[in-house]
C-alpha cells in the first residue's frame, strides 16, 4: 500500500499540473483569439475568473468569428497529425483503448501534444469540453511514470486509470467523482474496475489539491440554494432523467455518426478535417452561440434560472 501511495502522490502532482496547464492554455488562446480578434466573449464561470455577461463585444466581427475556429482547427489538426495522431478526437476513447488493448501503453509525447492541441481547439471556439482531453492527458502521465519505473502490465494499467482520475478530479474540482468515473467509463455495462478505485481516489485527491492551490477551492458551479422537501418531486426528476438519457443517447449516435460516416470520408488530408469542423462550428455559433467553446458559463446561467426556452433549444440543437 505504501508503494501505491507513492505512485498516487507522484501521478497526482503531475496530473494536477497538467490540468492547470490545460486550463491556462485554453484561457490564453481564448483571450488572444475569440476575445481579442473576433470580439466574442462567451459567458464563463465566475469561480474560474469568468463573467456571465454579454457575448458580443463592441469589436465583434462575424467574418472573423467564423475564421477563428477554422484556423484553430487547422493548427490543431497539424499539431496532432504531425506529432501524435493517437491524440486525435476527444481523448476518452484513446484512454479506454490504451487500457483494454494496448496494455496501458501511451507514448510520452501524447499528453503534451494533447494539452497544446486541446488548448488551441477549445480556446478558438471548438465545441467540446475538458473531460475528454484531461482524461487522456492524465492517463498519459500515468503511463509515462509506469514506463519509467518499469512496473508490470497490470500496474501500468492501474496507473493509467489513476492518472485519468487525477486529471478529471482536479479540473472539475470533484476528486471523488473523478476517481469513480475513471474506473467505470471503461465498460458499457454497470461495471467498475474496483481494484483501481483506491489508487484513483488517492491520485485524484492529490491532483485536486495541486489544482486548487493555484486556482481556488470553490466548486465549479454555484446553485440557488435548492432544498429538497417534497417526495413527489422525485417523479419529476425521474422524467427528467429519462429525457436527458434519451438526449444523451441521440447525441452519442449523432457524434460518432458524423465522425465515422461524414468527416472520415471527406476527400481531403485528415489534418485539414478539423478546420472543416471549426468552420461548421462557427456557422452554428452565428445562430446558437451556446455551441461555441466549453459552454460551462451557459450551464451556470441555466442553473441560476436565467435562460429562456429558446436558449435551451439552441443549446440542445447546437
What CATH number should be reported for the domain holding residue 132? 1.10.3080.10
Q: What is the model's pLDDT at position 62? A: 92
CA 32 to chain centre: 21
Instruction: Quote the cell numbers at residue 100.
Output: 483494454
pLDDT confidence of residue 1? 62
By the 8 A CB rule, do 160 and 106 touch?
A: yes
Q: Specify if 230 maps to a domain.
A: no
- Nearest-CA neighbor of 58 among 46, 71, 41, 44? 41
Closest CA to 167 of 143, 191, 193: 143
Domain that holds residue 198: 2-222+235-317
Q: Answer yes or no: is 206 within a domain.
A: yes
DSSP, collapsed to helix, strand or coil, labels residue 105 as coil
pLDDT single digits (tens) 96-139: 999 999 989 999 999 999 999 999 999 999 999 999 999 999 99
Domain-located, residue 311: yes
C-alpha cell at 51: 463573467
Q: Is residue 229 part of a domain?
A: no
Domain assignment present for residue 228? The answer is no
Task: Evaluate whether residue 227 is within a structural domain.
Answer: no
Would the pLDDT of 36 be above 90? yes
Helices (H), the chain: 2-30, 62-83, 92-101, 109-123, 131-149, 153-171, 175-184, 197-215, 233-261, 273-287, 296-303, 309-317
Structural domain includes residue 131: yes
Residues 193-212, mean pLDDT to the nearest whole number = 96
Domain count of the fold of the chain: 1
In this predicted structure, what is the pLDDT of residue 78? 97
Range of lowest pLDDT (29-43, 111-125, 225-239): 225-239
> What per-residue confidence (pLDDT) applies to 7?
94
Contacts of 206 (CB under 8 A, 6+ apart): 8, 9, 11, 12, 13, 16, 166
Note the pTM of the prediction, 2 decimals: 0.93
Please report, for residues 73, 126, 293, the alpha-carbon distance to residue 118 in angstroms, rounded to integers and kept in the order given: 10, 9, 11
**Residue 263 lies inside a defined structural domain of this protein:** yes
Amino acid at each position: 500500500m505504501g508503494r501505491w501511495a507513492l505512485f498516487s502522490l507522484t501521478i497526482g502532482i503531475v496530473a494536477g499540473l497538467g490540468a492547470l496547464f490545460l486550463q491556462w492554455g485554453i484561457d490564453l488562446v481564448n483571450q488572444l483569439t475569440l476575445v481579442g480578434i473576433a470580439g466574442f466573449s462567451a459567458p464563463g464561470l465566475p469561480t474560474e475568473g469568468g463573467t456571465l455577461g454579454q457575448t458580443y463585444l463592441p469589436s465583434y466581427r462575424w467574418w472573423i468569428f467564423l475564421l477563428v475556429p477554422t484556423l484553430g482547427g487547422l493548427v490543431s489538426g497539424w499539431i496532432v497529425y504531425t506529432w501524435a495522431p493517437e491524440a486525435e478526437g476527444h481523448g476518452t476513447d484513446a484512454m479506454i483503448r490504451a487500457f483494454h488493448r494496448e496494455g496501458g501503453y501511451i507514448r510520452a509525447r501524447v499528453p503534451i501534444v494533447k494539452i497544446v492541441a486541446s488548448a488551441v481547439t477549445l480556446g478558438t471556439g471548438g465545441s467540446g469540453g475538458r473531460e475528454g482531453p484531461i482524461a487522456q492527458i492524465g492517463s498519459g502521465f500515468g503511463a509515462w511514470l509506469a514506463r519509467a519505473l518499469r512496473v508490470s502490465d497490470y500496474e501500468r494499467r492501474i496507473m493509467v486509470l489513476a492518472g485519468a482520475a487525477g486529471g478529471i478530479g482536479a479540473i472539475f474540482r470533484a476528486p471523488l467523482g473523478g476517481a469513480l468515473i475513471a474506473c467505470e467509463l471503461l465498460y458499457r455495462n454497470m461495471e467498475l474496475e474496483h481494484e483501481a478505485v483506491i489508487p484513483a481516489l488517492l491520485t485524484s485527491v492529490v491532483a485536486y489539491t495541486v489544482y486548487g492551490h493555484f486556482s481556488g477551492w470553490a466548486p465549479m458551479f454555484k446553485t440557488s440554494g435548492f432544498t429538497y422537501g417534497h417526495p413527489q418531486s422525485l417523479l419529476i426528476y425521474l422524467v427528467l432523467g429519462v429525457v436527458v438519457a434519451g438526449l444523451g443517447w441521440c447525441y452519442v449516435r449523432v457524434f460518432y455518426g458524423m465522425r465515422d460516416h461524414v468527416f472520415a470520408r471527406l476527400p481531403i488530408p485528415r489534418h485539414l478535417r478539423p478546420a472543416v469542423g471549426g468552420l461548421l462550428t462557427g456557422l452554428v455559433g452565428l445562430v446558437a452561440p451556446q455551441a461555441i467553446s466549453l459552454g460551462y458559463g451557459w450551464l451556470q446561467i441555466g442553473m441560476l434560472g436565467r435562460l429562456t426556452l429558446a436558449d435551451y433549444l439552441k443549446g440542445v440543437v447546437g
